[in-house]
Structure 1
Amino acid sequence: MKKGRRQRPWRLFTGIITFIVLYMYANFQGGFVSWFLFYTFVAVLIYEVIMVSVLLRHVVVEREVADQQLFTGQGNRITLHIHTGVIPVLWLRVIDQLPHSLRQAKEYERLIFLGWRRNVTITYEVVKLPRGEHRWEEVRLESGDLLGFWSRTITCKSSSEVIVFPRVESIQFWSIQSSHPLGSQQTRRPLQEDMSNLRGIRDYVHGDRLSRIDWKAVARVGNLKTKEFSTLENQRYLFLLDCEMTNYRTEQGLELFEEGVTLIASLAQYLLKQRQPTGLILHGETSSLPQLGEGHFSSMLRALARVTPTATLPFSRALQQLTQVQRLGGLTIIVVTTQNHPEIIEQFARLRQLYGSVVWYHLVDSQQGHATMVHHTSLTTSSGIQYFPVQPGQVGRVLQGGAWNAVGS
């Protein structure tokens, strides 16, 4: 579909007046010069009429994207194939409208001289794509006559879509096992790990507990090694991401939201690789119950790629609704939010009573002091809630070496 911009009417009026004046001048004056001027103008007028009639009338534009699925921070190559039709276009200005979701220049512009060529290919790069769904829709083309008397601009529809998944951090080991796995208190929640079944050993990572170090292996190989235990198969995990619009109005708030999305994507990939059923709730948008399989992870990634902090439903209402649904045995709820008021913490405690385990990843900005995080740590520990603060740019450090590293960071 092409849409053209209408030319100003004064140009047509000026051409008609000039034609009449030159014709009258040639009739009354006579001679070679006057008629030469008249016929020259007629030739130019015929050329202009032809160009107005056919220029850019049969242009075809096709857009080609190198990759339709990317991860945050990667770049993409965009190629435009333009066929100008039968009448050659001497010059052409190409303006490709970039998606509004890209936080950079709003358009790509290039001026090219075609000569007698009727086909041209333009390629440009878009770097560091942010997470989200980006759609290219329109290409504007502008050209004109050789003498520069007029120009025409048309808009060609050429849709292309690129989905950018959130960044996924590599996790070597992650556990939310209680610090007293055989503790003195009874619990309805099954243990996260079977401490009697040693699965293997791995390299020590800063943040691992000393009780997990395999000293026999250390003496044998000379490097620190950490024990890994088998995980019970009946454990399920459900992620709950806070998408309430009022919590992410600032630039730093949006950065925290991206950290939360990255955290969930990274943990979901790790848990599904460990054959642990994993689900996702994006309050106000979508939800999925804990499942297994690569297809399920792909659907979770797509949901996380599209999610935006635009929910009008209060996050506290979403937590309240979660307490009213049918409970799943052996469910660990992992909450990612910026909120920390007492009502939210009370709802976390209520969820722990219903489901058995709640993990709270608290998205905190750099202005919140260490004392505030220590206060929340002591408050949630007394309620049986596992609390891990996450600051901007610290997701990789929080996840590296397991959840226990988050406590010590």
Structure 2
Amino acid sequence: MRRCRKEILLILLLILSIFIKSHFLFSVSLFFIAYIVFLKILLRRGLENVGVKMRISSSNVIEGSKIRLNFQVQTFSFLPVVEILPQTPVFFISKGERNLTFSPIFNKEDEFEVELVAKRRGKYMLGRVKIRTYDPLGLVREERLIGEEKEVYVFPRIIKISRPRIPIKEPSFGIRVKEKIFEDYTSLVGVREYTGNEDLKKIHWKISAHTGKLMVKEFPPTAITTVTVLIEPFATRDRRNEEIFLNHISTITASLFNYFEFVKFRYGLWIIGKERIPEASGKEHLIRLLREIS
């Protein structure tokens, strides 16, 4: 309705000119009505001959990082001015001009680039572009929505873990325990005196016979190289803080996955209520898990 205000006003002016028998007012209003109708048809057909190709710098970005949209615009009609309006989500903040306005040249390809900052994790669709054109007097405006949508994943922010507080090669974590776990029984590193808490299978009977007291075998620890991260997305009881809770959990999990990949772990993910992703490693596996928690 708002876009038709000029047309309605001119029609009312035309009717008024008939009632008051004003030839000048009748001619002016009729001229502008014909001008608007003609330009609408001309600009609409012109927009149909405008081609826009958009390339996205990456389909996977980390929260807070930049993403570039490259536009190639080719015009096969004579249009006074063309405006390119990328249809981007509100969480993608432009570093400069978001909309592009230029005067196209027939059959010439123009190239532009828009830089955005991804401010929030999630899965988004990018690729749709609104093209708009105007007449020289600014009375007629036509627009058209074109383009093919593509998936873009914004991964949670990743914190670099340089010194983990849990050593990865010491399953007992440096704590004195009665019974060690994750021991490599194929390698013997020594013997020690029996304390009464060890399994009888670990007693070295030959050495015990020589020393006259019970001695048990000492085995080296095996490194923990397989990890599954378990996430309970509804653990918080305060629904008002649910989004903050999920953001923190996503950042922590993404940072752990990045570290596990760096130290060559096999790692998996199990989000309560979803299908468990088994342990694996590699860049493709890392991207799959980061997409899952985005």
| TM-score normalised over the length of structure 2 | 0.64
The correspondence for 2:270, drawn from 281, 285, 291, is: 281
Decide whether aligned partners of structure 1 residues 80 and 7 sit closer, same or farther in structure 2, where only a CA change above 3 A counts: same
In 1: Cα distance, 2:174 partner to 2:3 partner: 80
Corresponding residue for residue 81 of structure 1: 72
The one-letter code matched in structure 2 to 1:136 is: L
Q: Are the aligned partners of 1:190 and 1:235 in contact in 2 as well (CA < 8 Å)?
A: no
1:54 maps to 42
Q: Within 1, Cα distance between the matches of 2:135 and 2:92?
A: 36
Deviations 1:190-218 (A, max 9, x none): 259x9998xxxxxxxxxxxxxxxxxxxxx
Residue 134 of structure 1 corresponds to 124
Aligned match of 1:14: 10
Q: What's the offset of the Cα at 1:281?
A: 0.8
* Aligned ranges 1:374-393 → 2 under 5 Å: none
147 and 278 in structure 1: CA distance in 2 versus 1, 3 angstrom threshold: closer
How do 1:210-289 residues align onto structure 2 when only pairs under 5 Å count?
Answer: 232=222, 236-244=226-234, 246-247=236-237, 249-250=239-240, 254-289=243-278
Offset from partner CA, 1:51-70 (integer Å, 9 cap, x none): 21131431333222222222
Contact 1:7 1:152 in 2 (8 A): no
Equivalent residue, structure 1, for 2:88: 98
1:156 to partner: Cα distance: 2.5
The yes-or-no answer on 1:67 pairing with 2:58 is: yes
User: Which residue pairs with 1:385 in the alignment?
Assistant: none
State the structure with more CA Rg: 2
Instruction: Give matches, 1:4-403, under 5 Å.
Output: 8=4, 11=7, 14=10, 18=14, 47-57=35-45, 58=48, 59-88=50-79, 90-100=80-90, 102=91, 109-110=98-99, 112-114=101-103, 116=105, 119-166=109-156, 167-173=158-164, 174-175=166-167, 177-178=171-172, 183-184=177-178, 186=179, 189-191=181-183, 232=222, 236-244=226-234, 246-247=236-237, 249-250=239-240, 254-304=243-293, 306=294
Query: Structure 1 residues 231, 140: CA separation in 2 closer, same or farther (over 3 Å shift)?
Result: farther
What is the distance in 2 between the residues matched to 1:86 and 1:77? 28
Q: Which amino acid aligns with 1:83?
A: Q
Structure 1 vs Structure 2 CA RMSD: 4.2
Paired residues, number: 250
Deviations 1:114-134 (A, max 9, x none): 165665443221125433222
Q: Is the 8 A contact 2:83 2:133 kept in 1?
A: yes
CA distance in 2, matches of 1:236, 1:70: 26
CA distance 1:56–1:111, change in 2 (3 Å): farther
Structure 1 range deviating more: 72-81 or 112-121: 112-121
Letter in 1 for 2:69: I
Q: Which stretches in structure 1 are left out of the alignment for 5+ residues?
A: 27-33, 198-229, 307-409
* Residue type of the alignment partner of 1:130: R
1:284-343 Cα offsets, whole Å, 9 max, x none, are 234212334444333222223x3xxxxxxxxxxxxxxxxxxxxxxxxxxxxxxxxxxxxx
Task: Give the CA deviation at 1:104.
Answer: 5.0
Distance 1:111 1:275 in 2: 46
CA contact (8 A) 2:60 2:155 kept: yes
Check 1:170–1:127 CA distance in 2 against 1; reply closer, same or farther (3 A cut): same
What CA distance in whole angstroms lies between the structure 2 residues aligned with 1:180 and 1:21?
96
8 Å contact kept, 1:132–1:163: yes
Contact 1:75 1:129 in 2 (8 A): no
CA distance in 2, matches of 1:263, 1:196: 38
SS at match of 1:8: helix
Deviation (angstroms), 1:275: 4.3
Contact 1:92–1:141 (Cα < 8 Å) also in 2: yes
Structure 2 vs 1, CA of residues 268 and 131 (structure 1 numbering), >3 Å: closer, same or farther? same
More helix by share: 1
Describe the shift of the 1:269–1:120 C-alpha distance in structure 2 as closer, same or farther (beyond 3 A).
Answer: closer
**Relative to structure 1, is the Cα distance of residues 191 and 116 closer, same or farther in structure 2, using a 3 angstrom cutoff?**
same
- Give 1:14's aligned amino acid: L
Counterpart amino acid of residue 43 in structure 2:
L
- C-alpha separation between the residues in 1 aligned to 2:106 and 2:12? 33
Q: Distance in 1 between matches of 2:4 and 2:84?
A: 22
Matched residue type, 2:177: G
- 1:196–1:139 Cα change, 3 Å: farther
CA distance in 2, matches of 1:178, 1:133: 40
Counterpart-to-counterpart distance in 1, 2:182 and 2:228? 15
Q: Distance in 1 between matches of 2:258 and 2:99?
A: 42
